[in-house]
Structure 1
Amino acid sequence: MLRVLSQKTLFAVVSGAALIAGVFLVSSILHTGDRGLFCSLSPVFSRISFGGGGTDATGQLAEALLYYATTSVVPQQSRAEIRLTFDVLRRRAPCNFLVFGLGRDSRMWAALNPGGTTVFLEEDPEWYELVTKSSPMLRAHHVKYRTRLDEADKLLRGYRAVTACRPGAADGIAGLRKNDDCPLALVGLPREIYEREWDVVMIDAPKGYFAAAPGRMAAAYSAAVMARGRRGEGDTDVYIHDVDRKVEKAYALEFLCKKYRVGATGRLWHFRIPPVNANVTTAGDTFC
């Protein structure tokens, strides 16, 4: 979708590209102890204006750079995985970016969408309090899920028999917000999640490594429903992490669809899902 960007927003996007490169470069320098190289690069960073009249977006980028350059905390995804999402954010920002999960990379994701809206959904109340206390600038919500990981196989086998879960009956916000009859639909989310159309979705939560954990089944299903029901122009870029695990892989293939996969690296898959009115090949009871 074409966007008309202000000069300030364009500057923020360019600054974002420079800063994220700086985050990884500075982090590498600090870990290898090459201070001489760090000093030689300082003139490059001094040409990026952060203070005195700068935009909130550039301020956020500066904060992210400072945070990652001065802490041992590193993002949870690999550099190659982050790059896969960064390339899309660089093209689409400012955009609406929905992230399932709060983590060590949350400040980075928010900073990589300068001028846009980045919202995080986190199911662990203690982790939610910890992250939002240390990073109060993040826009995040604590949410609850109705699923359990040990139900994943049963839900995948049975969802087609539930009319409320089928494509067509469940497309867009109407297929989620009050769809209590579909166990995979994310109901009870904050109002703003339903009122926005999400351009980019990152599924890196909830927990999916023990039986009682919520698993990412509902997140994958609901991302597909949101993308299919998109009313605006353009497709929805959806990422799902940890596809080396059985459930993430199975649900990605069932709902996000192999034919829409446009990229992959490490444990991350990238899908570009068109709205339902452009998806003329979808069968009545399947999403793919």
Structure 2
Amino acid sequence: MPPEVLHFRPLLPPLVQLSSPVTTQPQENQPSGHKVSQETKRMGLTKRELIPILVLILSVVSVIRLLSIIVSTSSSSHGSSGLYPGTQHRSFTLNAPETGSSKKPRRPPRVTTLTKKEFRVLSNLIAQKVPCNILIFGFHSQYLTLSSLNADGSTIFLEDDPHKISKVRFTSNNTRIYRTEYNMSAKDAYELLKEARQNSACAPTNPKMLRKSKCKLALKNLPAEVYEKNWDVVVVDGPNGDSPESPGRMAPIYTASVLARAANVSNVVVHDVDRTIEKWFSWEFLCDENLLHSKGKLWHFRINHFHSTRFCTDGTQTKQKNHSARDRDSKTSSRDLKSQ
């Protein structure tokens, strides 16, 4: 008898099968069931090979898209000034004068308000005088408190900014605000001061004659009641006067000094005396001898020589030297103002 041959199925298919070429046509003598099994195996192997390849391709595409988004965003942010000229300097462009225009850019006015100590000095003065007549050159919301204190008196504001005037609503008929035009630039302060010293028409006069005065510093376009009333308190805090081209406070200080001399005793308060123009004209027309109190940037003058033909009494030689020194300072400050 021939020896018995043990039949077994190997755990793995022979290596030859993996490396052998795949026939496109099944053998004619191969059973149909075995043919289907081989096709199924070939298709399953192809899917396993394609899945990691597809995953890799999708990952690469995603990374490329992410990098392109980052690059495009970065380039747009850095290149915005090239795409839109003037975007980075918009504030400069808006403030710059137009090409071919002779008008200079007008910067926004500086808003100066009273400190707590300055306002306390002014409010204490009003509290001692109420009810009284108060005239204020300029307008700030702080001054509404003063008009409230003087509810039984008369308070008049003279303001040149129409925007401020449009926002003010007074509940009392004793408080009014009037639009006032100022045509004197701050840069002309020193020339106006020299002219006033040489012009006899600028001497103290009856307030009712201010509208006909030949003095350049006289305000002639104010409401009639401003010239007719005797003012207990006059406050000079306007116009703004914060640049050489803007209207200065030369005329308001001069006019306030004339109006104050119509009453037996009157008080004139000047704000922003840290600035040259306010100092010049306060010294010249309100006088050191009348300076009653000072606090911060606020000077309080009391005027009581209403029959005088001069703003300041004759001073000693020392005072004359002081005024000469002030004149020298004025010339220097005037040059500084014109160069700004």
Q: TM-score per shorter chain, which class?
A: 0.5 to 0.7
SS in structure 1 opposite 2:269?
strand
Following superposition, which runs of at least 4 residues in structure 1 exceed 2 angstroms of deviation?
A: 135-138, 275-283
Per-residue CA deviation, residues 254-275 of structure 1 (Å, 9 max, x unaligned), is: 1111100000001000000014
Query: Which structure has the larger Rg?
Result: 2
Question: What is the identity percentage for the equivalent residue pairs of Structure 1 and Structure 2?
Answer: 37
* In structure 2, distance between residues paired with 1:201 and 1:81: 15
Partners of 1:222 and 1:101 in 2: how far apart? Answer: 14
Q: Is the 8 A contact 1:147 1:183 kept in 2?
A: no
Q: Are 1:172 and 1:227, in contact at CA under 8 Å, matched by a contact in 2?
A: no
1: CA distance between counterparts of 2:171 and 2:163? Answer: 15
Which residue matches 1:263?
293
Any gaps of 5 or more consecutive residues in structure 1? 1-74
Relative to the length of structure 2, the TM-score reads 0.56
Match of 2:274 in 1: 244
Amino acid across the alignment from 2:271: H
Per chain length, whose mean CA-contact separation is higher, i.e. which structure has more relative contact order (CA < 8 Å, sep 6+)? Answer: 1
Secondary structure, in 3 states, of the residue corresponding to 2:241? Answer: coil
How much has 1:278 moved relative to structure 2? 6.5
Q: What is the Cα deviation at residue 229 of structure 1?
A: 2.8
Of 245, 263, 275 in structure 2, the residue corresponding to residue 212 of structure 1 is 245
Q: Distance in 1 between matches of 2:218 and 2:259?
A: 10
Matching of residue 119 in structure 1 with residue 119 in structure 2 = no
Does residue 140 (structure 1) correspond to residue 170 (structure 2)? The answer is no
| Coordinate RMSD, CA, aligned | 2.1
**Could you tell me how far apart the structure 2 residues matched to 1:204 and 1:242 are?**
8
Between the two proteins, the alignment pairs up a number of residues equal to 201
* Structure 2 alignment gaps of length 5 or more: 1-111, 315-322, 324-340
Q: Find the aligned partners of 2:308 and 2:130 in 1 and give their Cα distance.
A: 23
Name the CA distance, whole Å, in 2 between partners of 1:213 and 1:136.
32
3-state SS of the aligned residue for 1:237? strand
1:126 alignment partner, SS class: helix
Deviation at 1:224, TM superposition (A): 0.7
Specify the alignment match of 1:94 in structure 2: 131
Distance 2:266 2:189 in 1: 25
Q: Which secondary structure state, in structure 2, belongs to the residue aligned with residue 158 of structure 1?
A: helix
Structure-1-length-normalised TM-score: 0.65
Is residue 282 from structure 1 mapped to residue 313 from structure 2 by the alignment? yes
Q: Distance in 2 between matches of 1:93 and 1:278?
A: 27
- Is 1:196 aligned to residue 260 of structure 2? no
